Chain A
Amino acid sequence: MEAAIARNLGSLGAFLPEIVLSAGVLALFLLDLVFRGEGRRGRLTWAFGIVLALAAAALAVTPSSPRGLFNGMVVQDGLGTFFKWLFLATAAYTAGIVVHSKEISRARLGEFYALLLAVLLGMDLMAVSGDLLMVYLSLELVSLVSYALAGFRKDDVRSAEASLKYVIYGGVASGIMLFGISYMYGLFGTTDLALLGPKIKAFSGEVFVAQTLGGATAAQLALVVAVMFVLAGVGYKMASVPWHMWCPDVYEGAPTPFTAFLSVGPKAAGFAVALRFFGVGFTEAAGGGLVNTATVPWPAIVGILAAITMTLGNITALGQTNLKRLLAYSSIAHAGYLLMGLAAASILGFQSVLVYLAVYLFMNLGAFLVVAIMAARTGGEDISAYRGLVRRAPFTAIAFTVFLFSLTGLPPLAGFTGKYLLFAALLQQGGSWYVALAIVGAINSAISLYYYLRIVKAMVLEPPAGAGGPIEVPRTYGALLAGSMAALLFFGLFWSPLYGASLRATQALFRG
């Protein structure tokens, strides 16, 4: 008992970024009451930025050598640190979008920032969860606050409706996940992922367990069902089929800055959990590669989900005219691409997921930033509002084109790097099954080019609709657009820093 308490207290030092964020949530709620008058918007944004900077400083000084914290509930390692940087960048970018957004009123800005920090805290905890209970709790923290943020504009019918759909789908998904966890607990007597790994490996040989549950087949089936159920909660966060139904409605109804955040942050957090769950629980490093230690064919399950997810996302996106909806289906398709990396079940596969998520951050947030600009300036989310944009706001139009090309995966942009690594991971595995999945991915990329190009065509070739005067873009937005484009070009040409960081993060997962 004494030793356990001492271990918990000793863990606090390595938990500094999360402590800073928790304090930041409370501080923002208080500052929301203090800051009044004209400068409120700027001051609250500064406060939010300072909390993020403190969290980043805390993250920089926290060691990332692999070790368990709080008696195994939380794991400190390179993978968690990689994702924490990703989440911080997403939150900072979102704040950049919020600054000039008319959708978040000045009166409720403090509340918005405080809740956003709470989601950030939840995502950080998802990335470092070393225990299935912690996975469930952190996932619920992200979900519960996201419900509130999706329905942030209470007076807006669409926002409230999006929130309700989100809550119901989310409740079902987390309920299914919890039921899966309860069976994992029953089968193995623990929810600690590090302890689960060896137990799952030894599972098929255990006659005793098999007899209690009514035969070896039944026991195996129980494990497969439990894994599928756990995948439900994670897949819901990733917006992968068949847990994607909430995605288009919530993306359309939620305030645009939060939609941007939602399309990157929680999706990445879902992948963080999936990488750790399958990496620690179901695989082990052997002979330079990874071996599936369980009799559960999880790479096949994930691969089939990947194929269905990207195909459904891309096909449905073809018919969309609302940009937020179109990008929602595009983000479903990207969840499918990312699942390909997980399905490869190799070091390179895991790495490619990390690289793609980092690249995806810039291109998808950039795309949503353009949508936010257009919604604020022209009031239109429909593709017709983008007609002739190249003449009305040339820089924005060029930036949007770069983001869309990168989302398609055209060189020399970073989207190509990400896709290249995903496909390389599949082809490295060899078997006809992996090649088939890669072909499905390639066909899907071609389909996606069609609907992305449709937007580019409207912007460049079609005459402006209505008045068609020039659109003024705030300087913050211009800087964000330029920064995102620079990042996409940089990582498209020099991707070794990103590759190196992802390699270190992935190797940390398998060093124990």
Chain B
Amino acid sequence: MILPSAYLVVGALLFGLGLCGVLVRRNALTAFMSVELMLNAANLTFLAFARHPLRGAPSLDGSAIAFFVIAVAAAEASVGLAVVIAVFRSRGTVEIDALRSLRH
């Protein structure tokens, strides 16, 4: 039997991994993958709490929210990748550090 808290731990780890990925990796595509990781961590937490609520009976609310998040993540990825393509066409690179035409 897997303890309910184990799901939360995995979720938190995934979230931390995603956040670190965005902060450390300088490639735009890797950054996007890391953002997806963060969204999936939130989904895992939603599902864990839906299946094993702190009180009361399991509810479907968390599962329903997960579906919405999956759809939003797909939309975000499509817009994001379109932007990456636009940047790649004009600059020839997707390294975030190479983007310096706007002053810091």
Contacts and interface: CB of A to CB of B under 8 A. Distances in A.
A225 to B, nearest CB: 10
Interface in A228-272: 248-249, 252-253
Interface in B40-63: 41-43, 45-46, 48-49, 53-56, 59, 61-62
B55 A163 contact: no
Contacts of B48: 186
Contact of A189 (B54, B72, B76): B54
Contact of A158 (B54, B75, B101): B101
B22 A185 contact: no
Interface stretch (A24-32, A81-89, A173-181): A173-181
A137 B101 contact: no
A167 B99 contact: no
B86 A154 contact: yes
Interface centre among B15, B31, B55, B99 (most CB of A within 10 A): B99
B103 A322 contact: yes
A140 B76 CA distance: 8
Nearest to B64: A133
A297 to B, nearest CB: 23
B10 interface: no
Contacts of A147: 79-80, 83
A103 interface: no
Contact of B61 (A163, A190, A249): A190
Given A157-B101, A160-B86, A172-B19, A179 B45 contact: yes
B52 to A, nearest CB: 9
Given A137-B72, A212-B54, A157 B91 contact: yes
B101 A168 contact: no
A489 interface: no
Interface residues of B, number: 47
Contact of B90 (A157, A175, A179, A186): A157
Nearest to B22: A172
B42 A179 contact: yes
Given A140-B72, A175-B39, A185-B46, A191 B61 contact: yes
A178 B39 contact: yes
Given A140-B76, A322-B103, A185 B31 contact: no
A161 B87 contact: yes
B42 A189 contact: no
Given A154-B86, A175-B39, A322-B103, A137 B68 contact: yes
A249 B86 contact: no
Contacts of B53: 186, 189
A185 B49 contact: yes
B35 A164 contact: no
A312 B20 CA distance: 25
Given A172-B35, A181-B42, A161 B54 contact: no
B45 to A, nearest CB: 4
Given A157-B101, A161-B99, A179-B45, A185 B62 contact: yes
Contacts of A175: 15, 18-19, 35, 38-39, 42
**Which residue, B28, B55, B80, has most C-beta atoms of chain A within 10 A?**
B80
Contacts of B56: 189
Interface of B: 8, 11, 15, 18-19, 22, 28, 31-32, 35, 38-39, 41-43, 45-46, 48-49, 53-56, 59, 61-62, 65, 68-69, 72, 75-76, 79-80, 82-84, 86-87, 89-91, 96, 99, 101-103
User: What are the 7 tightest A-B residue pairs by CB atom distance, in nearest-first order?
Assistant: A175-B38, A186-B49, A171-B35, A182-B45, A178-B42, A249-B102, A179-B42
19 contacts: A140-B72, A147-B80, A148-B83, A158-B102, A160-B89, A163-B86, A163-B87, A164-B84, A171-B80, A172-B22, A175-B15, A175-B18, A179-B38, A179-B45, A185-B61, A185-B65, A189-B49, A208-B55, A248-B102
